[in-house]
């Protein structure tokens, strides 16, 4: 039943004509108001209106008790509200569900002109100057669309209003009160504002330190709303520097509601940004076209996009805030799924791949030559790989296996099959040290059937497995230009069967004769884009991606939705649990003593220096100093090596060789040794500032020991760990299973940090969380469904979606196809 506003309007107007003497109704206005508001409360359903309606309540007070001025002001508010109700009623007559944004910008006629759009720079917004825009640019906000998608990292809940008598010390509270007096004061010499404010239940003191200017704005009888922490001073309650705003007939921005907190940069003030954001949202959010097909949106019960955007900034309540996040998270996940799925399809459809037949006798000869027999899990995975390779559809497979589970030998078998079929194989590692180590491991694995013919440091050649010599080369960044060109020529001429390297392999100078299989090790350092760059080396090769980081299912679907999955879920026999201990700072000396004892019994140790984010150079310097200190003061009788990222490949190689050969007792290293290094005689891993590493990284460090027969140990030092740091140390001490650790890591760190999605060319996940399993699966289903009904997304109802896709995946090869 629509609310009848007429009687109230008439009476209030009459009351105004009679000079606000509370004489428009016999017996006073209060009873009439009481009845009217009860009726109104039932018939107002639009949340925006209801909220405004609630604001009009004369809390614990009555019209009769108001002063004339206050009566006049209050009636003004009510009349404006009645306008809004009538306006809203007309609106709802033509629209089924008016988006909240419309209602909140009730009187706002869009002031945009044809040339302005949400893709215009933010400077078209009134109040954003060029210099302010520059500060926003630093946050990645250039256009109005960026601004609308610049979501708060959290909200303060100032939505529960209290009276002054209800205030409790230590709580975050919100009150509406009258200013009795405000003046500048100088407590402790700081120019501040001090005010006394009151409501019908009492008075309370408010202090804003270092802000004397407020005193002038808070004139006596100003109605303000305050949100902030209440403390006790000389036995009385006081608000210290609360958020405040004038209480008037306007949406609240800083107080009395769920208030957004934005992560800001220098030169942007929270109040200023909130205010700008409120205006931007009101004026622009509703102009963002909803790119989701409406059928899909309804099926998934998602908010409309404009509403979701405005509720994500200024939610009416907690429920709408959640629903807004849901909608926006769904968008991210859907676009991500559409991206990866369409890429998989493009790759698989664009050209047929090159079937690699299993050469049983070569395979047998290779496996026979190994000094160990494969685990069941390794055998199973080799079968899966070879079955994929035989198809003309190029393989896209992720091989997941715990540290030390023996992925390298499995990959080597596949590379050998490619070579036996006359194709080239590429093996990419995330760092040069690892590339070098893989080069030497793979050479060793393939060398047991015949005599090696060394062709220099970078190319080795082995006979015995294939009818011709098998040639393996390493291409890394820091060899001489001449060498590099020579190698590149060999690769192009097809003189090299297996080429091992870093990113250098996907640079454009490197051309292959016919690349049949590309193996990417430690996948999380490589992104989708690098993978696709490798694919574009002509020839549409089979791709095998390997990772020691167990990837939870949600993440696998998110980041590797384009890959099939193989798992080595078994370690070679004889591996022991690595005893892990988190040491307090005062146990450092006993850690050193322990290392000395291990070395005395013939073992070796790693000492990992702290992670220093700023730069590799600083990190290298710190490691050098630590190496110096340890060599002279702690282990003067031992031989210590140093390994850091600033050393040349030759120097690194020298150190690794020497450590592997037992020439060094202790290797002091920056976190470069994180992945893959394999020294079976090393039994102690000491990690400095262990609290600063993620769980998966700590697990990787730990995986550097325990690779031989001896009991191994991992010692973790932390000077002053944060709460999260402590949680991680506690977990790593007690959990050996990498899979569990990865799950925990995700919980603690979130996906972006976990995999560095930003660098790896994935779209940002701002709203989606990895715990959104149901939502992710929903997005995956919807994405698959979309491709089923409209494989090229050509239908008219998908045109906005296609635009959004192209925007989300600008670097994607398929973006051209989409836009
Ligand atoms: P990761 O999966 O971490 O890359 P690697 O391939 O480096 O593991 O293998 C770890 C160590 O285990 C290597 O020294 C390798 O030679 C050895 N290895 C691999 N497979 C087996 C096996 N089936 N039995 C015994 N040792 C193995
Ligand atoms: Mg490995």
| 57 or 435, higher pLDDT | 435
228 lines ligand 1 (CB under 6 A): no
Least confident of 91-95, 305-309, 379-383, 428-432: 91-95
pLDDT mean over 330-349: 80
Q: For ligand 1, what atom is nearest to the CA of residue 707? A: 11
Q: For ligand 1, what atom is nearest to the CA of residue 403? A: 3
Q: What is the DSSP-derived secondary structure letter of residue 243?
A: E
Q: What is the pLDDT of residues 36-75, one digit of tens each?
A: 776 676 677 676 777 777 777 765 568 888 888 888 888 8
Predicted confidence band at 89 (pLDDT cuts at 50, 70, 90)? Answer: low
Measured in Å, residue 444 CA sits from the centre of ligand 1 at 13
pLDDT mean over 639-660: 86
572 lines ligand 1 (CB under 6 A): yes
With 70 as the cut, is the pLDDT of residue 508 above it?
A: no
With 80 as the cut, is the pLDDT of residue 192 above it?
A: yes
Identify the bridge partners of residue 789 per DSSP, sorted by sequence position: none
Residues 671, 431 contacting (CB under 8 angstroms): no
Per the prediction, the chain carries an average pLDDT of 83
Ramachandran category for residue 693: left, alpha or beta (phi over 0 → left; psi -120 to 50 → alpha): beta
499 lines ligand 1 (CB under 6 A): no
Strand-by-strand arrangement of the 470-475 sheet:
452-454, 459-462, 470-475, 498-501, 424-428, 515-520, 542-547, 396-401, 564-568
Q: What is the pLDDT of residue 373?
A: 95
Which uninterrupted H or E stretch holds 604? strand 604-608
Nearest CA to ligand 1 atom 17: 406
Where helices occur in 630-708 by DSSP H, the ranges are: 649-660, 695-702
Q: What is the pLDDT of residue 569?
A: 84
Measured in Å, residue 414 CA sits from the centre of ligand 1 at 16
Measured in Å, residue 316 CA sits from the centre of ligand 2 at 51
Q: What is the pLDDT of residue 756?
A: 43
Q: What is the pLDDT of residues 194-243, one digit of tens each?
A: 999 999 999 999 999 988 989 999 999 899 999 999 999 888 999 999 99
Q: What is the pLDDT of residue 400?
A: 87
The whole-angstrom separation of Cα 549 and Cα 555 is: 11
Q: What is the pLDDT of residue 789?
A: 92
Percent of the chain scored above 70 by pLDDT? 84
Q: What is the pLDDT of residue 99?
A: 39
Residues 172, 185 contacting (CB under 8 angstroms): no
pLDDT mean over 743-760: 54
Predicted confidence band at 94 (pLDDT cuts at 50, 70, 90)? Answer: very low
With 90 as the cut, is the pLDDT of residue 654 above it?
A: no
Percent of the chain scored above 90 by pLDDT? 38
| 698 or 410, higher pLDDT | 410
pLDDT mean over 146-162: 89
Predicted confidence band at 758 (pLDDT cuts at 50, 70, 90)? Answer: very low
Measured in Å, residue 523 CA sits from the centre of ligand 2 at 11
With 60 as the cut, is the pLDDT of residue 814 above it?
A: no
Where helices occur in 475-615 by DSSP H, the ranges are: 481-493, 528-535, 553-559, 588-600
Q: What is the pLDDT of residue 141?
A: 92
Predicted confidence band at 349 (pLDDT cuts at 50, 70, 90)? Answer: low
Q: What is the pLDDT of residue 819?
A: 45
Long-range residue pairs from 296-301, CB within 8 A, at least 24 positions apart, any chain:
296/782, 296/786, 299/782, 300/330, 300/778, 300/782
Q: What is the pLDDT of residue 613?
A: 61
Tell me whether strands 579-583 and 470-475 are parallel, antiparallel or unpaired: unpaired
Q: What is the pLDDT of residue 20?
A: 86
Cα dist from 476 to 459, 482, 644, 764, whole Å? 12, 13, 17, 31
pLDDT mean over 665-672: 89
pLDDT mean over 473-489: 85
Q: What is the pLDDT of residue 110?
A: 45
The whole-angstrom separation of Cα 493 and Cα 246 is: 77
408 lines ligand 1 (CB under 6 A): yes
Least confident of 3-12, 207-216, 502-511, 740-749: 740-749
Q: What is the pLDDT of residue 331?
A: 95
Least confident of 46-60, 405-419, 593-607, 669-683: 46-60
DSSP 688-747: TTGGGS-HHHHHHHHTTSS-SSS--EEEEE-SS--HHHHHHHHHHHH---HHHHHHHHHH
Q: What is the pLDDT of residues 525-580, one digit of tens each?
A: 555 556 666 666 666 789 898 887 766 666 666 666 667 788 888 888 877 789 99
437 lines ligand 1 (CB under 6 A): no
The whole-angstrom separation of Cα 184 and Cα 477 is: 65
With 80 as the cut, is the pLDDT of residue 450 above it?
A: no
Q: What is the pLDDT of residues 279-325, one digit of tens each?
A: 999 989 988 999 999 999 999 999 999 999 999 999 999 999 999 99
Ligand nearest to the CA of 520: 2
704 lines ligand 1 (CB under 6 A): no
Q: Which two tokens stand for residue 506?
A: 């996907």
375 lines ligand 1 (CB under 6 A): yes
Q: What is the pLDDT of residue 207?
A: 93
What pTM, to 2 d.p., does this model score?
Answer: 0.57
Measured in Å, residue 653 CA sits from the centre of ligand 2 at 17
Backbone angles phi and psi of 22, in degrees to 5: 55, 45
Measured in Å, residue 173 CA sits from the centre of ligand 1 at 60
Q: What is the pLDDT of residues 4-46, one digit of tens each?
A: 787 788 888 888 888 888 887 776 788 777 777 766 766 776 7
Q: What is the pLDDT of residue 537?
A: 62
The whole-angstrom separation of Cα 626 and Cα 607 is: 10
């Amino acid at each position: 039943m629509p609310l009848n506003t007429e009687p109230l309007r008439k009476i209030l107007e009459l009351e105004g004509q009679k000079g606000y003497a509370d004489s428009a109704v016999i017996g006073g206005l209060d009873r009439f108001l009481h009845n009217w508001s009860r009726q109104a409360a039932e018939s107002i359903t639009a949340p925006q209106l209801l909220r405004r309606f609630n604001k009009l309540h004369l809390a614990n007070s009555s019209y009769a008790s108001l002063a004339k001025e206050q009566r006049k002001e209050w009636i003004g508010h009510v009349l404006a509200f009645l306008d809004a109700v009538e306006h809203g009623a007309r609106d709802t007559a033509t629209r089924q569900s008016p988006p909240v944004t419309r209602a909140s910008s009730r009187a706002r006629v869009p002031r945009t002109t044809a040339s302005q759009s949400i893709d215009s720079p933010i400077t078209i917004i009134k109040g954003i100057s060029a210099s302010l825009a520059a500060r926003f640019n630093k946050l990645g906000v250039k256009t109005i669309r960026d601004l609308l998608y610049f979501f708060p990292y959290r909200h303060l809940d100032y939505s529960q209003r209290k009276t002054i008598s209800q205030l409790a010390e230590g709580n975050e509270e919100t009150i509406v009160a009258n200013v009795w007096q405000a003046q500048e004061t100088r407590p402790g010499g700081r120019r501040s504002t001090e005010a006394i404010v009151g409501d019908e239940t009492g008075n309370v003191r408010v202090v804003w330190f270092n802000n004397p200017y407020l005193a002038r704005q808070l004139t006596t009888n100003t109605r303000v709303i305050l949100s902030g922490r209440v403390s006790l001073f000389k036995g009385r309650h006081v608000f210290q520097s609360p958020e405040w705003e004038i209480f008037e007939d306007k949406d609240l921005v800083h107080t009395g509601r769920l208030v957004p907190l934005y992560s800001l940069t220098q030169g942007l003030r929270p109040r200023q940004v909130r205010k700008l954001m409120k205006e931007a949202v009101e004026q622009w959010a509703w102009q963002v076209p909803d790119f989701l097909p409406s059928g899909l949106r309804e099926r998934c019960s998602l908010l409309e996009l404009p509403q979701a955007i405005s509720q994500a900034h200024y939610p009416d309540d907690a429920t709408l805030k959640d629903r807004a996040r849901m909608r926006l998270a769904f968008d991210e996940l859907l676009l991500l799924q559409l991206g990866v799925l369409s890429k998989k399809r493009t790759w698989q459809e664009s050209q047929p791949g090159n079937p690699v037949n299993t050469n049983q006798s070569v395979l047998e000869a290779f496996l026979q030559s190994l000094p160990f027999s494969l685990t069941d899990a390794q055998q199973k995975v080799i079968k899966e790989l070879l079955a994929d390779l035989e198809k003309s559809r190029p393989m896209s497979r992720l091989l997941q296996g715990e540290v030390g589970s023996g992925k390298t030998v499995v990959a080597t078998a596949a590379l050998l099959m490619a070579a036996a079929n006359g194709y080239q194989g590429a093996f990419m590692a995330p760092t040069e040290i690892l590339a070098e180590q893989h080069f030497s491991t793979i050479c060793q694995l393939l060398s047991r059937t015949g005599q090696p013919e060394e062709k220099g440091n970078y190319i080795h050649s082995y006979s015995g497995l294939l009818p011709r010599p098998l040639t393996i080369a390493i291409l890394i960044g820091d060899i001489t230009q001449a060498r590099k060109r020579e190698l590149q020529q060999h690769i192009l001429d097809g003189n090299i069967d297996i080429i091992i390297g870093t990113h250098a392999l996907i640079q454009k100078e490197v051309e292959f004769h016919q690349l049949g299989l590309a193996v990417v090790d430690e996948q999380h350092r490589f992104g989708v884009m690098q993978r696709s760059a490798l694919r574009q080396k002509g020839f549409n090769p089979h791709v095998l991606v390997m990772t020691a980081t167990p990837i939870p299912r949600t993440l696998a679907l998110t980041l590797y939705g384009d890959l099939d999955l193989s798992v080595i879920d078994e370690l070679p026999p004889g591996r022991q649990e690595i005893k892990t201990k988190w040491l307090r700072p005062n146990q450092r000396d006993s850690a050193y003593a322990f290392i000395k004892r291990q070395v005395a019994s013939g073992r070796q140790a790693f000492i990992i220096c702290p992670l220093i984010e700023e730069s590799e150079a600083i990190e290298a310097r710190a490691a050098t100093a630590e190496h110096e200190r340890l060599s002279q003061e702690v282990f003067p009788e031992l031989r210590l090596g140093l390994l850091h990222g600033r050393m040349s490949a030759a120097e690194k190689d020298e150190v690794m060789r020497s450590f592997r050969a037992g020439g060094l007792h202790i290797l002091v290293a920056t976190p470069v040794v994180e992945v893959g290094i394999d020294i079976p005689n090393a039994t102690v891993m000491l990690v400095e500032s262990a609290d600063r590493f993620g769980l998966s990284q700590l697990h990787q460090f730990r995986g550097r020991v325990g690779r031989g027969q001896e009991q191994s140990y991992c010692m973790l030092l932390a000077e002053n760990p944060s709460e999260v740091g402590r949680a991680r140390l506690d977990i790593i001490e007690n959990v050996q299973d990498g899979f569990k650790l990865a799950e925990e890591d995700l919980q603690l760190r979130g996906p972006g940090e976990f995999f560095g999605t930003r660098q790896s060319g994935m779209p940002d996940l701002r709203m989606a969380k990895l715990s959104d399993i149901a939502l992710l699966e929903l997005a995956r289903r919807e994405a698959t469904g979309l491709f089923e009904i409209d494989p090229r997304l050509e239908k008219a109802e998908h045109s906005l979606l296609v635009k959004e896709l192209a925007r989300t995946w600008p670097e994607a090869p398929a973006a051209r196809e989409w836009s």
